[in-house]
């Protein structure tokens, strides 16, 4: 009996043998379709190949595509566990032709595979075709020899496949298997077609039209093929089972669930095990593709799936968290083909454990409340919306979990009441928010957020994605379109652009639609919306259009490196300076990083180099950077650094990097840095490249600031520094390491020369003019001197006093507009004449004020050099009269 793994391989091998490129499954979060919540069929990743918008180096492809149908248009969640063929996660096998083969080959290839490779009895098979598609009916007759009564014409959309309201589409033909008349049900198109006797196993779509929003259905330039066959269905058929959950793969998961909960796989808990097995697959693959449980968008769908499974695990009587213990079984079954599952195993386990531990703290109480409420209901009754809302709001019960729990008892929920309670809570939150005065001008963003919900951020996993333009805001008002030259704030349903937050700057890049292009100069966040601040560069953009969003990746890589380096720096600072170091602010831009932290004094050069060396050591370690989502308390228990006073939501992203032995953080004490952080980070520390601290300075009282560079800018900085030193060394004709010594020697020499120059200048200034007159029996020198400054006068006076031996020296320095005067009197004469008195006379004559000193030496300043001679004359007169 072939396993599901064998069947997948047979399918892919068969089409590869027939000239098809074997293409990997695309991720569950579609990158190229803004309207889809999850990839829900094989053709999603090829969407643009059918319309000719995109070409690749193959025209035939085959895949086993991961699909999720939970949330959004295709939602099978409610039926899972209770029916034979519903799944939230399934694999779709497909073969595709892009303008290559068409109906003939598609039908022949399909018939060959199922009747020859799979060996299905042709007499059990019948097909449907679109009612007008004679061509397909004739090919079936020719290729398979099917009689007319086993080629059923269907006029409804069941046989006209559309991807969505717009896009490539076409008639299809479906292959059915007849399980035999012992099972109730009629053939397709008959009134009891929903019975289980005739099961569709394969859908072949003839892509030949394009549906436009205005209702036009136009032929496509090329004709293509898109087929889809659910692996679980064909598996059940080939394994002789009627129920997908009885296939080997699903059965292994059911048994793992039974074993982990200590219950019988086929007993009364069977339905629980089926739900658990299905939800385990959806959870594992969604987490492997970057979705994390949250309260918004895709993350909330994942949370709903996880919590539903957890309630079912609880119903089996298990007292400990169950789901994470089943991950090894899942990886064992599917990790061979899907390597991403194997790689993400630790993350899946940890996310499941964290979520289940947390949910269990309210699950019991929530279920008791539910029991009480149910006790009050009549048979077949309806749970009031208020109660369902309380379960949601206080106990973390998603609405569909409550519905699922009630379904077992044949009860319903008043969903309108639930919605009303939810709307009321939103209104309260909004009133509180706008009352807080925060961004009072942001009413428009609140309105848009109410209308459209929060923007989904895809930028942790991709820098390119498609989104749908929900609103264009120009000068504070919503507009339908913007054209070249205008500036706009653009809101989309999902974006890879990071909105400025937590010190990380907003992304820049390009947004394109079919009709125009904008350059995004910044991205901000308000009320849960990401606002792409942009200039229209070309054409026109309209609300409602699909858009391709492309982040400037080089810039983002540089920002990422700086952000991750900031985490390493934070930890290195704590290691070097102590636990008191806490983040006080940060900037992660493309050209540098800045980190403010609490610390009382300047860092010594040794401390700074030690810190820099430690950061570089962890960069060279090139260890993996991991991100997990958990409750803030759980994160703190791991030793995560959180910003003091910061408000955190129900869950936080926890970024870990760096490995060390035994003395680190985390459960096994081997992690260097753990921080709560919503930013984007490198995948491995080595991507940071290099780290250079530019120095430490004071930021505010008790807060220091370090600016630093990483990657190429760090190398450029070092290179520029090196060039400067080399230039200097060349100037000195010395080795670079000798430059310091040479500079010191030069500075000493300069100091000596300056002293020598000052001495010479004084001597030159006095020159031969230093002639003393005899006044009142005293030797007196009176002189105006050019080319010296006021502070030269002191030494000159001393010198002259020494030459005179006994006498008075009065000098006025002609320093330009404001003359300086200094007067000295040798000690033996101070009882006759005081220098201080004489200076006052001179200063006054010079039009200045004040001046003073001691009897032997006094100085002052004047205002008018033209009065210099008059001032000296006044001094002379005073000496004469002394």
State the nearest-atom distance from the C-beta of 161 to ligand SER, in Å. 5
CA distances from 333 to 117, 190, 252, 315, 804 (A): 23, 38, 8, 25, 111
Among the listed residues 39, 41, 209, 562, the single contact to ligand SER using CB under 6 A: 41
Nearer to ligand SER, 20 or 628 (CB): 20
C-alpha closest to that of 128 among 93, 108, 155, 103: 155
For 354, which DSSP code? H
C-alpha closest to that of 780 among 671, 879, 662: 879
Compute the distance between CA of residue 160 and CA of residue 162 in angstroms, rounded to an integer: 7
List the interface residues with ligand SER, window 529-548 (CB under 6 A): none
Q: Which residue is nearest to ligand SER (CB)?
A: 228
State the nearest-atom distance from the C-beta of 438 to ligand SER, in Å. 46
Query: Tokens 């089996």, residue?
Result: 316
Compute the distance between CA of residue 861 and CA of residue 230 in angstroms, rounded to an integer: 101
List the interface residues with ligand SER, window 823-862 (CB under 6 A): none
Among the listed residues 27, 30, 34, 42, the single contact to ligand SER using CB under 6 A: 42
Nearer to ligand SER, 71 or 354 (CB): 71
Nearer to ligand SER, 162 or 818 (CB): 162
Give per-residue burial for 147-167: e unless 16+ CB within 10 Å, then b: eeebbbbbeeebbbbbbeeeb
Nearer to ligand SER, 95 or 641 (CB): 95
Nearer to ligand SER, 92 or 388 (CB): 92
Residue 655 burial (C-beta neighbours within 10 Å; 0-12, 13-18, 19+): buried
Among the listed residues 205, 405, 782, 821, the single contact to ligand SER using CB under 6 A: 205
Is residue 810 helix, strand or coil?
strand
Nearer to ligand SER, 161 or 177 (CB): 161
List the interface residues with ligand SER, window 207-246 (CB under 6 A): 226-228
Q: Which own/partner contact pairs does 733-739 have at CB distance under 8 Å and 24+ positions apart?
A: none
State the nearest-atom distance from the C-beta of 84 to ligand SER, in Å. 19
Rounded to a whole number of angstroms, the distance between the first and last alpha carbons of the chain is 134
Nearer to ligand SER, 46 or 595 (CB): 46
What is the 3-state secondary structure of 518-560? EEEEEEEEECCEEEEEEEEEEEEEECCCEEEEEECHHHHHHHH
State the nearest-atom distance from the C-beta of 173 to ligand SER, in Å. 11
C-alpha closest to that of 67 among 232, 180, 215, 195: 232
Nearer to ligand SER, 43 or 780 (CB): 43
- 262 phi, psi to nearest 5 deg: 65, 35
The answer to whether the beta carbons of residues 73 and 194 sit under 8 Å apart is no
Nearer to ligand SER, 50 or 672 (CB): 50
Compute the distance between CA of residue 394 and CA of residue 375 in angstroms, rounded to an integer: 20
State the nearest-atom distance from the C-beta of 275 to ligand SER, in Å. 24
**Contacting residues for 237 by C-beta, under 8 A, at least 6 apart:** 120, 177, 199, 201
Nearer to ligand SER, 36 or 706 (CB): 36
C-alpha closest to that of 710 among 696, 694, 693, 690: 690
State the nearest-atom distance from the C-beta of 186 to ligand SER, in Å. 22
CA distances from 494 to 90, 523, 657, 819 (A): 24, 13, 28, 75
C-alpha closest to that of 871 among 821, 816, 817: 821
Q: Does 203 bind ligand SER (CB under 6 A)?
A: yes
Nearer to ligand SER, 36 or 406 (CB): 36
Q: Which stretch binds ligand SER (CB under 6 A): 41-49, 183-191, 413-421, 451-459?
A: 41-49
State the nearest-atom distance from the C-beta of 44 to ligand SER, in Å. 8
Nearer to ligand SER, 227 or 671 (CB): 227
State the nearest-atom distance from the C-beta of 203 to ligand SER, in Å. 4
State the nearest-atom distance from the C-beta of 280 to ligand SER, in Å. 24
**Contacting residues for 725 by C-beta, under 8 A, at least 6 apart:** 736, 739
C-alpha closest to that of 251 among 272, 232, 277, 231: 277
Nearer to ligand SER, 201 or 573 (CB): 201
Which structure tokens are listed for 363? 């699950």
Nearer to ligand SER, 229 or 625 (CB): 229
List the interface residues with ligand SER, window 90-129 (CB under 6 A): 94
State the nearest-atom distance from the C-beta of 458 to ligand SER, in Å. 23
C-alpha closest to that of 556 among 376, 783, 711: 711
How many helices (H) and strands (E) are present in the chain, helices listed first? 23, 34
State the nearest-atom distance from the C-beta of 391 to ligand SER, in Å. 35
Nearer to ligand SER, 225 or 739 (CB): 225
State the nearest-atom distance from the C-beta of 378 to ligand SER, in Å. 42
Nearer to ligand SER, 41 or 283 (CB): 41
State the nearest-atom distance from the C-beta of 94 to ligand SER, in Å. 5
- By rule CB under 6 A, what count of residues binds ligand SER? 10
The answer to whether the beta carbons of residues 787 and 765 sit under 8 Å apart is yes
State the nearest-atom distance from the C-beta of 246 to ligand SER, in Å. 23
Q: Which stretch binds ligand SER (CB under 6 A): 38-46, 151-159, 188-196, 689-697?
A: 38-46
Q: Does 161 bind ligand SER (CB under 6 A)?
A: yes
State the nearest-atom distance from the C-beta of 41 to ligand SER, in Å. 3
Q: Does 45 bind ligand SER (CB under 6 A)?
A: no
Nearer to ligand SER, 229 or 841 (CB): 229
Binding flags for ligand SER, 65-94, as an x/- string (CB under 6 A): -----------------------------x
CA distances from 195 to 81, 125, 198, 232, 242 (A): 18, 16, 7, 18, 12
Is residue 697 helix, strand or coil?
strand
Residue 440 burial (C-beta neighbours within 10 Å; 0-12, 13-18, 19+): exposed
Which structure tokens are listed for 871? 């001032």
For 684, which DSSP code? B
State the nearest-atom distance from the C-beta of 174 to ligand SER, in Å. 9
Q: Which stretch binds ligand SER (CB under 6 A): 40-48, 53-61, 101-109, 743-751?
A: 40-48
Q: Which stretch binds ligand SER (CB under 6 A): 4-12, 35-43, 808-816, 839-847?
A: 35-43
State the nearest-atom distance from the C-beta of 227 to ligand SER, in Å. 5
CA distances from 516 to 478, 480, 533, 537, 579 (A): 18, 14, 16, 8, 53
State the nearest-atom distance from the C-beta of 163 to ligand SER, in Å. 7
Among the listed residues 23, 43, 442, 470, the single contact to ligand SER using CB under 6 A: 43
Nearer to ligand SER, 203 or 867 (CB): 203
Q: Summarize as ranges the residues that interact with ligand SER (CB under 6 A).
A: 41-43, 94, 161, 203, 205, 226-228
């Amino acid at each position: 009996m072939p396993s599901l793994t064998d069947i997948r391989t047979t399918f892919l091998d068969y089409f590869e043998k027939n000239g098809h490129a074997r293409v990997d499954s695309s991720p569950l979060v579609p990158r190229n379709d803004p309207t889809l919540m999850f990839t829900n069929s094989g053709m999603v990743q090829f969407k643009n190949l059918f319309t000719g918008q995109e070409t690749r180096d193959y025209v035939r492809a085959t895949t086993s595509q991961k699909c999720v149908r939970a949330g959004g248009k295709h939602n099978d969640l409610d039926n899972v566990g209770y029916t034979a063929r519903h799944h939230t996660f399934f694999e779709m096998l497909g073969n595709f032709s892009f303008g290559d083969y068409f109906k003939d080959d598609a039908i022949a290839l399909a018939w060959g595979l199922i009747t020859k490779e799979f060996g299905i009895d042709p007499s059990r098979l019948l097909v449907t075709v679109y009612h007008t598609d004679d061509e397909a009916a004739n090919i079936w007759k020719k290729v398979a020899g099917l009689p007319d009564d086993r080629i059923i014409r269907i006029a409804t959309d069941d046989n006209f496949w559309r991807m969505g309201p717009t896009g490539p589409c076409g008639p299809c033909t479906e292959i059915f298997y007849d399980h035999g008349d012992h099972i109730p049900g009629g053939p397709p198109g008959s009134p009891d077609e929903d019975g289980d006797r005739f099961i569709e196993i394969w859908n072949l779509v003839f892509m030949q039209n394009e549906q436009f929003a205005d209702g036009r259905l136009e032929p496509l330039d090329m004709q293509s093929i898109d087929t889809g066959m659910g692996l679980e269905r064909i598996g059940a058929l080939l394994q002789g089972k009627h129920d997908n959950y009885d296939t080997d793969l699903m059965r292994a998961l059911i048994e793992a669930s039974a074993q982990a909960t200590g219950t019988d796989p086929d007993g009364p808990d069977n339905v629980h095990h089926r739900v658990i097995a299905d939800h385990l697959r959806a959870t594992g693959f969604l987490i492997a593709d970057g979705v994390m449980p949250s309260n918004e968008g895709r993350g909330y769908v994942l949370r709903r799936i996880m919590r539903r499974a957890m309630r079912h695990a609880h119903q089996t009587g298990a007292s400990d968290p169950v789901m994470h213990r089943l991950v090894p079984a899942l990886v064992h079954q599917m990790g061979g083909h899907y390597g991403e599952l194997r790689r993400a195993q630790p993350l899946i386990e940890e996310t499941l454990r964290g979520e289940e531990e947390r949910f269990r703290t309210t699950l019991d109480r929530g279920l008791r409340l539910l029991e009480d409420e149910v006790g009050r209901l009549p048979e077949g009754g309806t749970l009031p919306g208020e109660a369902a809302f309380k379960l949601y709001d206080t106990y973390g019960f998603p609405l569909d979990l409550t519905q699922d729990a009630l379904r077992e008892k044949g009860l319903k929920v008043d969903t309108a009441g639930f919605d009303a309670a939810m709307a009321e809570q939103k209104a309260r939150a909004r009133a509180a928010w706008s009352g807080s005065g925060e961004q009072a001008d942001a009413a428009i963003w609140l309105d848009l957020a109410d209308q459209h919900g929060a923007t989904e951020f895809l930028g942790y996993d991709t820098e390119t994605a498609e989104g749908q333009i929900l609103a264009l805001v120009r000068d504070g008002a919503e507009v339908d379109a913007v054209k070249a030259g205008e500036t706009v704030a653009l809101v989309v349903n999902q974006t890879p652009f990071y909105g400025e937050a937590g010190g990380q700057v907003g992304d820049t890049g390009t947004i394109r639609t079919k009709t125009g292009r904008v350059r995004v100069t910044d991205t901000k966040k308000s009320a849960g919306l990401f606002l792409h601040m942009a200039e229209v560069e070309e054409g026109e953009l309209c609300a409602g259009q699909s858009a391709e969003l492309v982040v400037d990746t080089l810039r983002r890589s540089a920002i990422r490196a700086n952000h991750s380096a900031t985490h390493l720096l934070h930890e290195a600072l704590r290691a070097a300076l102590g636990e008191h170091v806490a983040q006080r602010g940060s900037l992660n831009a493309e050209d540098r990083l800045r980190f403010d932290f609490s610390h009382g004094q300047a860092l010594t050069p040794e401390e700074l180099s030690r810190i820099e060396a430690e950061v570089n050591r962890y960069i060279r370690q090139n260890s993996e950077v991991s991100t997990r989502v958990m409750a803030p308390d759980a994160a703190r228990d791991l030793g995560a650094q959180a910003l003091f006073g910061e408000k955190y939501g129900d869950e936080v992203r926890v970024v870990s990097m760096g490995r060390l032995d035994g003395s680190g953080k985390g459960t096994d004490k081997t992690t260097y840095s753990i921080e709560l952080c919503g930013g984007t980070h490198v995948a491995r520390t080595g991507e940071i490249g290099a780290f250079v601290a530019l120095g430490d300075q004071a930021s505010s009282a008790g807060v220091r600031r370090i600016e630093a560079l990483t990657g190429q800018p760090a190398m450029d900085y070092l290179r520029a520094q090196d060039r400067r030193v080399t230039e200097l060394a060349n100037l000195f004709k010395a080795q670079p390491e000798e430059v310091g010594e040479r500079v010191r020697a030069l500075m000493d020499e300069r100091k000596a020369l300056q002293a020598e120059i000052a001495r010479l200048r004084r001597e030159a200034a006095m020159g031969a003019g230093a002639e003393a007159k005899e006044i009142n029996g005293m030797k007196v020198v009176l002189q105006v001197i050019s080319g010296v400054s006021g502070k030269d006068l002191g030494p000159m006076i001393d010198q002259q006093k020494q030459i005179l031996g006994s006498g008075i020296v009065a000098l006025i320095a002609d320093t330009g507009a404001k003359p300086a005067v200094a007067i000295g009197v040798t000690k033996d004469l101070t009882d006759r004449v005081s220098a201080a008195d004489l200076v006052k006379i001179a200063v006054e004559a010079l039009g200045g004020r004040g001046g003073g000193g001691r009897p032997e030496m006094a100085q002052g300043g004047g205002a008018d050099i033209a009065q210099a001679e008059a001032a000296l004359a006044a001094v002379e007169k005073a000496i004469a009269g002394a």
